[in-house]
Structure 1
Amino acid sequence: MIGLGIRTDLAPSAIPPAPVLASAGDRSVLLARIGAVSIDLAICYLLLEVPGLYLLSVLLPGSIAEWGPLALGLSIAILIPLYLTYTFYFEWRYSRTPGKVNRGLVVVRSDGRPCTLRASALRNLCRYVDFLGVPPLVLGVLAAIVSPTGERIGDRVAGTLVVRTRAPEEDSSIPGFEADPGE
């Protein structure tokens, strides 16, 4: 961990951490989920998509700047399935993505057991709806806000929850919680 309460560990472990099921529905989990999505999108874009776009720019005639709006459309068309495949894989194999590791979150089935291939596939297929534009995205966020357990529509379909891996008072990197003076 570095200063400012930012966690630097991003690698999920093969054995998922114990979930804190009591954190289901905690509004701070929703904020942590937004942070995790931001981290995961940045990883997908910077580490996976940018090198691919660079390769395309080298192989195809003209510069990407000449492509104009087509370049943005191509970038988004590549990023969405790339991101969804990334989240599917990490949630299936490790019950959490690097962004969720960083924010202290884990995806579990509603009974607390690790996420399965089926559950990960269902919850991530439902994410395609979130990417259809602003209204579906707002509807998905509202569903998580009004749900007593903080479930998105994809979580409801898959029977999953996103919960903390530790109590907030145990982790100084969670926004809104002070670090232990002994650190």
Structure 2
Amino acid sequence: IDWSKELATSDDYFYQWTQWIFKKLYEKKLASLEDVEVNFCEKLGTVLANDEIIQTNEGIVSERGNFPVIKKKMKQWVLKITKYAERLLEDLKFLDWKEDIKEIQKKWMGKKEGFIFNFFILLENNKKDDNFLEVFPTKPRTIFGVNALVLAPEHPLIDFLVSEEKISKVNVYFEQVRKKTNLEKQKNQNKTGIFT
């Protein structure tokens, strides 16, 4: 081992550049502090990445130690990586990585092709005219056949759109969904939900 080529990200020399690049990202509005749903493990005292958790019959657990993991909103720095998705995807071909790892990276980069449409939502107790539900179809011709919209359990408009008589059913469903990992949700081809 050639220790002269050793690098520690905690060295003053190194982390000054980490701080510099983060500052540049922040100045260009490519980094922001947001409330994000994370995988939180109380026993480990940390947030875990999706590939550090496992779906079991009892729910989500940490890969290390099999400790319970809950979905929880926390303030996190978010990088707008999708702004560079095209470039990052193009450069993947130059990496000498296994194909399954490259596929994971492609999904993480989040490039999606489609169109944005806004549906106006009339909320009973809210007279503002900026209540829109944004949808992202990949084929715009399908928009004319829309007869229902499906919202993710974590969508901020859920609280405003669900009637009082249906909220308890919706909350029970959400608890079931929260016990699944993102990977588990993606694998499941059977779509489920609650009609509100």
TM-score, reference length from structure 2: 0.20
TM-score (norm 1): 0.21
Larger Cα Rg: Structure 1 or Structure 2?
2
Bigger helix fraction: 1
- Structure richer in strand, relative to its length: 2
**Greater relative CO, 1 or 2 (CA 8 Å, sep 6+):** 1
